[in-house]
A and B are shown apart, each in its own frame.
Chain A
Amino acid sequence: MKNVQVYGSGCKNCTVTAERIEQVAKELGQEVVIEKVTSLEAIMAAGVISTPGVGVDGVVKHTGSVPSVEQIRDLLG
């Protein structure tokens, strides 16, 4: 099981990102726990400066856009 973090202060792109991750995980038959990180200080501490950002098990893997389905597959794979 993977812990996935979505960094962002709650804008539309962040919601879309979280939904897309959930959907891809379902397709892959993987179990993921999605955690939305919305606190500014936590986002800063993670070093994310363009949202939405995506982290896997606390390591930032993607920033600045809604990741594509392929990108999410790579992240979860």
Chain B
Amino acid sequence: MFEIFAKLADWLAYSVMGFTPESAIGIGVHFFIEDTSKILVLLVCLIYVISYLRASLSVEKVRDYLQGKHRGVGYFLGSLFGAITPFCSCSSIPLFMGFVSARIPIGVTIAFLITSPLINEVVVIMLGSILGLKFTLMYITIGMLLGVFAGVILDMLKAHRWLQPFLAQAYQQDQTANAPATSTPEAIAISHQERHRFAVTETSAIVSRIWKWVIIGVGLGAFIHGFVPAQWFEENLANGQWWTVPLATLSAIPIYTNASGVVPIMGSLIEKGMPLGTTLAFCMGAVAVSLPEFMMLKQVMQYRLLATIAGYLLVAISITGWLFNAFY
């Protein structure tokens, strides 16, 4: 099914542009054309399908559903909904406040917030098209586990003590006296046409936001693929010393990027012999949190809570990286 993109790249790179398949530039250009065309087509088609399916899912519904659920399943459900619910990252603060004032346990809310950026349709499509199904499934499992464990640990630490005071108060108060449970004004049953319209808007919004990143990411990936010899990696990065994993995570955390830029680079690095765990740690660190996001969360969380979350992510992602390096 995907050969068509390879053929397109053969034709453009070798026949139209006249590069030879043996030259470094020929390899790089071929890689770039094949991957950008494949990824962009897949993104447009699959985001449409996914948006169509989840058009009726909203964070309000998730909140109502999570409210009053037992903690045990709550962590898992929080993490699951984090993966499938769409929401703009600029919404994470109101969402956090809404969940807290609905008295959903902090741990469940954190599970939602941590999984949400790690797993979304863009990451999954990019991983699937570049690194294959098996890797993608492992990534999804790890992403969900990271969220679940974050929730369990933060509840054990009684993290609600470290909310900003106005929010801690809302958490203590009786829900009925506080936030009015606004019912979603959107229609309960939505028609085929509305789903279609939602999916089109969503697809064009997402694709117009990320296409640049795809091109930059695949461009860098193509450069590594064509020009950087595997030997260089073996000599410099592929030894897999234990400290390279936390270093990769730590250096990735402040980076503000999304999966569309990181995944193609990741694919080329792994192919050149960079250890899987180290690469994965870098990717997860870059996608999970960023400095600007932490500055926003400061409005609702005290430094102790922020530091705990950052520390947890560093440790948990490093452990994941080590395990992968040890077993693959």
B94 within 8 A of A: yes
Residue of B nearest to A48 (CB): B94
Task: Report yes or no: B59 in contact with A49, Cβ–Cβ below 8 A.
Answer: yes
Q: Does any Cβ of B come within 8 Å of A40's Cβ?
A: yes
Question: From A64, which residue of chain B is reached at the shortest CB distance?
Answer: B58
Asked if residues B88 and A47 are in contact (CB atoms below 8 Å), the reply is no
Q: Which of B87, B181, B299 contacts A40 (CB 8 A)?
A: B299
Establish whether residues A50 and B179, one from each chain, have CB atoms under 8 Å apart when the complex forms: no
A7 to B98, alpha carbons, bound, how many Å?
13
The answer on a CB contact under 8 Å between A49 and B90 is: no
Q: Are A63 and B179 in touch, CB under 8 angstroms?
A: no
Most central of B59, B91, B95, B179 by chain A CB within 10 Å: B91
Pairs A-B, 8 closest by C-beta atoms? A49-B98, A11-B90, A47-B182, A44-B97, A50-B59, A50-B91, A51-B91, A47-B180
Q: Is A41 in the interface zone, CB < 8 Å from B?
A: yes
A32 at the interface (CB under 8 A from B): no
Known contacts A60-B182, A68-B197; is-contact A49 B300 (Cβ 8 Å): no
26 A-B contacts (beta carbon < 8 Å): A7-B94, A9-B90, A11-B90, A13-B90, A40-B97, A43-B94, A43-B97, A44-B94, A44-B97, A46-B182, A47-B179, A47-B181, A49-B63, A49-B91, A49-B97, A49-B98, A50-B60, A50-B88, A50-B94, A51-B88, A51-B94, A61-B185, A62-B185, A63-B184, A68-B197, A68-B201
| Alpha-carbon distance A47/B170, docked complex (angstroms) | 12
Q: Cβ of A49 and Cβ of B95 under 8 Å apart?
A: yes
Q: Which residues of B contact A61 (CB under 8 A)?
A: 185
Chain B hits for A45, CB < 8 A: 179
Q: How large is the interface on B (under 10, 10 to 19, 20 to 34, 35 or more residues)?
A: 20 to 34
**Residues of A within 8 A of B (CB-CB), count:** 25
In the complex, the answer to whether B179 meets A60 with C-beta atoms within 8 Å is no
A60 CA / B59 CA spacing, docked (Å): 15
Report whether A9 and B93 are in contact in the complex, using a CB–CB cutoff of 8 Å.
yes
When the two chains form their complex, are residues B184 and A41 in contact, meaning their CB atoms are under 8 A apart? no
Residue from B99, B166, B185 within 8 A of A49 (CB atoms): B99
* Given A9-B90, A13-B88, A49-B60, also A44-B98 (CB < 8 A): yes
Complex formed: what's the CA distance from A36 to B60 in Å?
21
B101: interface (CB < 8 Å)? yes
Instruction: Name the A residues within 8 Å of B181 (CB-CB).
Output: 47
A50 to B201, CA, bound (A): 17
Residues of B within 8 A of A63 (CB): 58, 60, 182, 184-185
List CB contacts (< 8 Å) of B174-232 with chain A. Answer: 179-182, 184-186, 197, 201
Which residue from chain A places its CB closest to the CB of B90 in the assembled complex?
A: A11
CA distance in complex: A11, B299 (Å): 15
CB distance from B47 to the nearest CB of A (A): 15
Residues A44 and B170 in contact, CB atoms below 8 Å apart: yes
Residues of A with C-beta under 8 A to B93: 9, 40
Chain B, Cβ-Cβ closest to A43: B94
Residues of A within 8 A of B186 (CB): 62
Q: Per-residue 0/1 for B37-71: is the Cβ within 8 Å of any A Cβ (1 yes, 0 no)? A: 00000000000000000000011100100000000
Contacts of A64 in B (CB 8 A): 58-60, 87, 91
B89 to chain A, nearest CB (A): 9
Q: How far is the CA of A44 from the CA of B170 in the complex (A)?
A: 10
A41 with B98: CB separation less than 8 A: no
Which of A9, A44, A50, A65 gathers most chain B CB within 10 Å?
A50
Q: Are A47 and B98 in contact (CB under 8 A)?
A: yes
